[in-house]
Structure 1
Amino acid sequence: MDVRVQKEAFDFGAEAAEFAAGHSEMGAIVTFTGVVRDTDGTLARMEIEHYPGMTEKALRSHADEALTRFKLGDVRIIHRYGPLEPGEMIMMVATAAPHRGDAFQAAEFLMDYLKSRAPFWKKELTADGSDWVAAKAEDEDALDRW
């Protein structure tokens, strides 16, 4: 298991290739990458905050649950913090499992947690000011299925 919370950008292609290369015994590798979205063209940047130590511990705990719940061989989570501009990668999840169903479900399970409950705080900054990003009902509903 590899869980990283970092300020630096990451190379998705290199991360995905390295993760897959280490798992020739697995039949499925699933990756997902989230990017900063500017839905109406006004976002200057997003600022992501976290509590060092606490955040990594929470992500590892959830990754451990995914490993056992979905019969995974491995998990990688990378999540960035600090100022990010539209189009920049925020995070990556990779799962490796003997079968694709477990790999896909585990990736969704991890994503639903990262979107709703992971201890990150996001603020959107526009020319008109800044607003903290509130939890969305659809994100909570997605988490409830687990």
Structure 2
Amino acid sequence: MTETELIALMDANGIGTDATIADHIDKIILRNYIVRRKSGKTEIFIPTSLGISLIQAFDKILVDRISLSKPFLRRALEGFLVRISNGEISKLDVINQLLPLYKQAFLRSSESSQVMILTFLDTNRRLDAGTL
């Protein structure tokens, strides 16, 4: 995926603003979820084994609105930030609405650490075997 494609996908899903999209991309590179590589004259982003494993594990343990592999929570947060800046809602209101969802995601992830570990090991095995 090129940077242009990634930015278009983020924009379509309500993730980031013109001022923050570059920071979001830098953060996922820094966290080793993706790497930037040259493909001819074009730079592309490739998911790492860690990035793939996290998506697969979150898809197994977190569903619906609290899925961390889907844009729902991030989109909601971005929308609330706009509403805060417009004076339509308070920071405390946003915290009260989103904190329970993030807490639920954290607790489910913590309780499912074995699933996360096994998914990471399976992903690496499949990558090494060339079957992923």
Please, what TM-score do these two structures have when normalized by structure 2? 0.28
Higher relative contact order (CA 8 A, sep 6+): 1
Structure with the higher helix share, 1 or 2: 2
**Quick check: which one's strand share is greater?**
1
| TM-score relative to the length of structure 1 | 0.26
Computing the radius of gyration from Cα coordinates, the structure with the larger value is 2
